[in-house]
Amino acid sequence: MTAVMDWLLEGPAWIAYRTRVDLLRLPEKDESSGMIRKTVISDPVFEQLINELKEWPGPTLKSHKTTLPYHKLGFLADVGFRQDEPGIQPIVKQILNNQSPEGPFTVKINLPKAFGGDGEDHQTWMLTDAPMVLSALIRLGLEGDERVKKATTYLAGLVRQNGWPCASAPELGKFHGPGRREDPCPFANLAMLKVMADLPEWHDSSAATYGIEMLLNHWSNRRDYRPYLFKMGTDFCKLKAPFIWFDLLHVLDVLSQFPRAWRDSRYQDMLSILQSKADQQGRFYAESVYLAWNSWEFGQKKSPSRWVTFLALRIMARSESGGMELAS
C-alpha cells in the first residue's frame, strides 16, 4: 500500500490533504496539513465552484441527471471546506434563509406533469434533494445548528419500516416519483443515511436501521427489484465521482460508516466487487463520468484516478476486512 499512498500524496493538493487526514490519520491541524489545506482553499478550481454557488439556489431543478448546485456544495464539503471559509458563509446564509415551516431546506423545483406535477416552478423540497442539502450543511460544520437539527428530525421521522418513501413537501400534495407509493425510494434512503452517517447519535436509530436494511435488501434482490426505477445492475456497479446519484461507490461510501452495515454479508458482497476493480498497483479507474466534471482528474476513464482510488481505499479502510488489508 505504500506505493499507492505515495502516488496519492503526489497528486493534487486536495487529494493529498484528504489522504493525509482520512487514510494516514494525520492531524488536520498539524503544520504540514495546514499548509496543504491553505493551498486547497486558494485553488482557483474551488474558487470557481464557490463563485458558481453565489446565486443559490441557482437554476430551477428539472432533472437529477445534471450537476446541481447542492452537488457542487457537497463536493466542496467532501474535499474539506467548512462554513467559515471565504465565500462559503453567504451561500450557507441563503440556504438557511430558505427553510420550510416543517424543517427541510428548499430549492427551486419544477415538477413535470408526467409525474403528477403542474409544470410550474416551486421553492420547495423533496426527499431526493433536501437530504443532500442537509448533508452538505452538516459536513460544512453546521451539525449543531438548531435549524439543521430541526430539518434532520423532521426528515428522519418520514421513515417507514421498509425505509424512506418518495416524500415531498405538504404543499405538493400527492406528488410522488415514478413508482408505487408503498415502495421505498432507494435514493431517498441513500441520501438520508448520508445525513445520519455524520451524526453519531443517529447511527443506532431505528430510522438508520430501516434505511440500511432497505439498501442491503435491494442489493440481494437486485435482479428483479427496481423500486422507483433504481437498478443495481451493470451501470450501478461502474465507479464514478463525485457523489451525485445512485451508484456502487456512493452506496458503499455511505454504508461503510455504519458498522452494522459493513458487517453484513450483503455489504461484503458489494465490497468484493469494488475490490476486484483495482489494478495490479492497487489503483482504481473511473468507469463512468459526468460530462459536467470532465475537466477534473476523475472525469476521464483512460488513466487511474487518484480521487476514485482514494474513495475506494477509504471505504476499505472503514470496513473490517479492508482495514486489515490497509494496515498490512
pLDDT higher than 50, residue 316: yes
Taking 90 as the threshold, does the pLDDT of residue 139 lie above it?
A: yes
Backbone dihedral angles phi then psi of residue 157, each to the nearest 5 degrees: -70, -10
Determine the residue type at 210.
Y
The reported pLDDT for the residue numbered 323 is 42
pLDDT at 96 > cutoff 90: yes
Percent of the chain exceeding pLDDT 70 equals 96
306, pLDDT greater than 60: yes
pTM, two decimal places: 0.94
User: What is the topology classification, in CATH, of domain 58-228?
Assistant: Glycosyltransferase (1.50.10)
- Does a cis peptide bond (omega within 30 degrees of 0) precede residue 57? yes
What percent of the chain stands above pLDDT 90?
83
Condensed to tens digits (0 to 9), the pLDDT of residues 108-132 reads 988 777 666 777 888 999 999 999 9
Across 70-74, 143-147, 264-268, 322-326, least confident range = 322-326
User: 209-214: long-range contacts at Cβ-Cβ below 8 A with a sequence spacing of 24 or more?
Assistant: 209/260, 210/159, 210/160, 210/161, 210/162, 210/163, 210/164, 211/159, 211/163, 211/164, 212/255, 212/258, 212/260, 212/261, 213/163, 214/162, 214/163, 214/164, 214/184, 214/186, 214/189
pLDDT at position 326 is 41
Cα 254 to Cα 215: distance, rounded to the nearest angstrom: 11
Residue 325: the pLDDT is 42
What local confidence, expressed as pLDDT, does residue 193 receive? 98
Mean pLDDT along residues 309-315:
98
pLDDT tier, 59 (very low <50, low <70, confident <90, very high otherwise): confident
Q: What is the pLDDT of residue 65?
A: 67
pLDDT tens column, 202-241: 999 999 999 999 999 999 999 999 999 999 999 999 999 9
146-194 pLDDT, tens per residue?
Answer: 999 999 999 999 999 999 999 999 988 877 778 888 999 999 999 999 9
pLDDT in tens, 233-277: 999 999 999 999 999 999 999 999 999 999 999 999 999 999 999
**pLDDT at residue 115, as a whole number:** 67
Domain segments of the chain: what residues?
Answer: 1-42+233-328, 58-228
Average pLDDT over residues 287-292: 95
